[in-house]
Amino acid sequence: MDAGRSVTIGQSEFRCPCHACAFFHSREEEYELLLPFAKEGYQSGDRMFQVVDKEHRDERRRRLSTSGIDLEKAESAGQLEIRAWEEAYLKGNRFDQQAMLELVESVLREGRSKGFPVTQIWANMEWALEDFPGVHDIVEYEARANKFLPQYPAFVVCTYDLNKFSAPVVMDIMRTHPQVIIGGVLQENPFYVPPDEFLGELSRRPM
């Protein structure tokens, strides 16, 4: 792992690996902060794996292109992959957390085996608001991801719109990420709970 490699988001510089939840109030706010992050990854030769609402995929491509990323070049080199929710989290019109964990780890494993210095994942998480089986497993999924993410040179940002998620869900999401982005500031998360401890707590909650 390239333990010395750091990545910049906003005014903050963090070393990999990093698994951050990012809270925004609008898509514009999300792009303002994360487009420079994506461009830095592109210029550094990192692998970029992004998951978006299919309704926003064209906008994502346009925004990446206008930020200075050569989409055709990056995609043909295997450096950039943009998937819709239905090709990742909601494959088969349901959320299978185990399948998604396997997909994420396979992306990280492939990025490392192909020699990319860092794998950068930018995932929009509003799929969890859709009416599909399994979506309520999102918090358990985020906790379980922490079991393997530290093993890879990865910078993972899971984005959440504060206008759409309830306060209890936001609190649980915050507790499953070692780092957090609030108000455009990336920082170590004082509320983070290690995965085994959090999953134990989750199992004791009333159904």
For 66-88, the DSSP string reads HTT--HHHHHHTTSEEEEEGGGT
Return per-residue pLDDT of the chain as tens, 207 residues.
445 578 888 888 888 899 999 999 999 999 999 999 999 999 999 999 999 999 999 999 999 999 999 999 999 999 999 999 999 999 999 999 999 999 999 999 999 999 999 999 999 999 999 999 999 999 999 999 999 999 999 999 999 999 999 999 999 999 999 999 998 899 999 999 999 999 999 999 887
Give the model's pLDDT for residue 23.
96
Q: What torsion do the CA atoms of 93, 97, 98, 100 make, to the nearest 10 degrees?
A: 70
Distance CA 127, CA 130 (A): 5
Give the span between the Cα atoms of 170 and 155, in whole angstroms.
21
Enter the DSSP assignment of 170: H
Per residue in 25-63, is it b (16+ CB within 10 Å) or e — as a string? eebebbbebbbebbebbbeeebbbbbbbbeeebeebbeb
Global confidence as pTM:
0.94
Sign, CA dihedral 82-121-7-9, equals: positive
Class of 22-203 in CATH: alpha beta
Q: What was the pLDDT predicted at 4?
A: 56
d(CA 57, CA 43): 22
